[in-house]
A = this chain, B = another copy of it.
Amino acid sequence: MWISTRGQYGLRALVELARETKPLAIKEIAERQGISGAYLEQILALLRRAGYIKSTRGAFGGYMLSKAPDQITTLEVILTLEGSLAPVACVEDSSSCNHVNACGTENLWRRVDATVTSILLGCTVADLLEEAEFKDAVQVMKQQEAKPNYQS
């Protein structure tokens, strides 16, 4: 598990915010996700300072996205919350290598890094919301199946 809960919770919180058009309170998001509100608060603070969300203080306050969901890539969010996604240090900073022999692993790690980066760059919060809403719809369909319609 190399994406910490900070990144996961943050991304999922953005999806929840993308569902709404009015401010959503930490407490509400935390309940939907089944996680600690105080912890989520710290994560949302990072996302706010990075400009992805804006807050309304006071009663009936909460958070809203400050950009359109399709303008927020999962890459930037994860980089904001996790710092870096490089599999090994030398992918970020090639001076961090001190081995004597030529290292055969460099290309491998660069390829891994580039691929992960490209997947996350190609996936926005809007895409995640779409997936979540599709799952919601499937869930509703299954419930209706289980409950046969006596009216027909």
Binding site for B on A (CB under 8 A): 1-3, 8, 11-12, 15-16, 31-35, 74, 84-89, 92, 98-109, 111-112, 115-116, 119-120, 123, 127-133, 135-136, 139
List the B side residues contacting A133 at CB < 8 Å: 102
Q: Is the interface of A mostly helix, strand, loop or mixed?
A: helix
The residue that A123 contacts in the complex, of B8, B74, B108, with Cβ under 8 A, is B108
Residues from chain B with Cβ under 8 Å of A86 in the complex = 1
Question: Taking the full assembly, how many copies of this chain does it contain?
Answer: 2
- A1-B87, A8-B105 known; 20 new pairs, CB 8 Å cut-off, are A1-B89, A1-B92, A2-B2, A2-B85, A8-B88, A12-B103, A31-B100, A32-B101, A34-B99, A74-B105, A74-B108, A102-B131, A102-B132, A104-B130, A104-B132, A104-B135, A107-B131, A108-B128, A112-B120, A115-B116
Q: Decide if B104 touches A33 in the complex (CB within 8 Å).
A: no
Return chain B residues, CB-CB under 8 Å to A116. 112, 115-116
The docked-state distance in angstroms from the alpha carbon of A121 to that of B99 is: 25
Q: What is the CA–CA distance of A36 and B88 in the complex, to the nearest angstrom?
A: 18
Task: Identify A16's interface contact among B87, B101, B112, B123, CB under 8 A.
Answer: B101
